[in-house]
Amino acid sequence: MTEERHPIIEALDARPPWTPARLTRVMQRVNPAVRTVSAKIDPIERDWHAITESALTAADGPGALPLWAALGDSTAQGIGASTIDHSWIARIDAALAADDRPHALVNLSRSGATSEHVIDEQLPLLDLLPAAPTIVTVCVGSNDLMRNPNPSALAERLNRLVAALPAGAIISALPAPSFSPTGRYVNRALRETAADHRVLVAELGPHMVAPHRGVSADLFHPNDRGYDAWMRAFAEQLGLDPDRVPAQGAVTSRLPGP
């Protein structure tokens, strides 16, 4: 008899394969590094699905761990990091466990996601969880910026997302430099809406490093050092000391054997 799979895993597996945006397709043709990073996207997403399936099994029944639901785009997948154990999510996961706050980690994000994808495809999956998550994190905005850089339109889309999040959720600010007028405008609007809806903002700006130090080989996604900004911004909102967060998590230990 075939074991029935959790409806969240069915929904994740039913997603179509990642499709690169037009600019990415162009860069893939001319830059081998972009092709290398892009080739990791689908395998990494499959690994997160397997980790999530394991977490959902552990979160259902007596003595179940509280849930952490991670939403968003490739920055929640850890694309660009040397391994997903070096992603900011895996590092925070290890820090919570070391702080006697272990959680069952359910990563519902996907590469290429925009704020609308989070609202329409990811947030509804929270209703299928065995219990309400005690932590909800969201990383999104870069793909919105690439598709429509108009500041007011971008702020409106992110504000709609914030309004749809549960109170206490943590959303990252737009990863834009302080001298960017669009970044300042959007992040100011994001903070105002977040305060109105009791949503916390993970401030990336103070922790960002220079692009030549923090960007992966494809010159778009963060590398291990770049993701340190995400780790520090979310650690602050979760009451963790960023300097005590391990440099590497252990989420890959939850993957099934060959």
SS3 state at 123? helix
| Token code pair at residue 195 | 């305060």
Least confident of 40-44, 125-129, 133-137, 144-148: 144-148
Residue 1: the pLDDT is 45
Q: Which of 139, 133, 93 is nearest to 118 (CA)?
A: 139
Tens-digit pLDDT profile for residues 4-13: 889 999 999 9
SS (H, E, C) 35-100: HHHHHCHHHHHHHHHHHHHHHHHHCCCCCCCCEEEEEECHHHHCCCCCCHHHCHHHHHHHHHHHCC
CA–CA separation, 127 vs 121, rounded Å?
12
Within 13 A of 109's CA, how many CA atoms are on the CB side?
A: 28
The dihedral over CA atoms of 233, 73, 208, 243, expressed in degrees to the nearest 10, equals 40
Tens-digit pLDDT profile for residues 144-195: 988 888 999 999 999 999 999 999 999 999 998 778 899 999 999 999 999 9
CA–CA separation, 179 vs 108, rounded Å?
32
**What is Dmax (Cα atoms) for the chain?**
60
Q: How high is the mean pLDDT of the chain?
A: 93
Q: Is residue 3 over pLDDT 70? A: no
Distance of CA 37 to the CA centre of its chain: 17
DSSP letter, residue 209 = -
Tens-digit pLDDT profile for residues 86-122: 999 999 999 999 999 999 999 999 999 999 999 999 9
In the chain, the DSSP E strands lie at 67-72, 104-107, 135-139, 170-172, 200-202
Residue 26: the pLDDT is 81
Contact 74, 84 (CB under 8 A): no
Distance of CA 118 to the CA centre of its chain: 10
Say what the pTM is: 0.95
Tens-digit pLDDT profile for residues 204-213: 999 998 887 9
Please say whether the dihedral angle defined by the alpha carbons of residues 144, 67, 245 and 253, taken in this order, is positive or negative: negative
pLDDT > 90 in the chain, percent: 78
Confidence of residue 21 (pLDDT cuts 50, 70, 90): confident
CA–CA separation, 11 vs 8, rounded Å?
5
Residue 2: the pLDDT is 55
Q: Which of 140, 148, 84, 152 is nearest to 112 (CA)?
A: 140
Residue 179: the pLDDT is 81
Q: Is residue 198 over pLDDT 90? A: yes
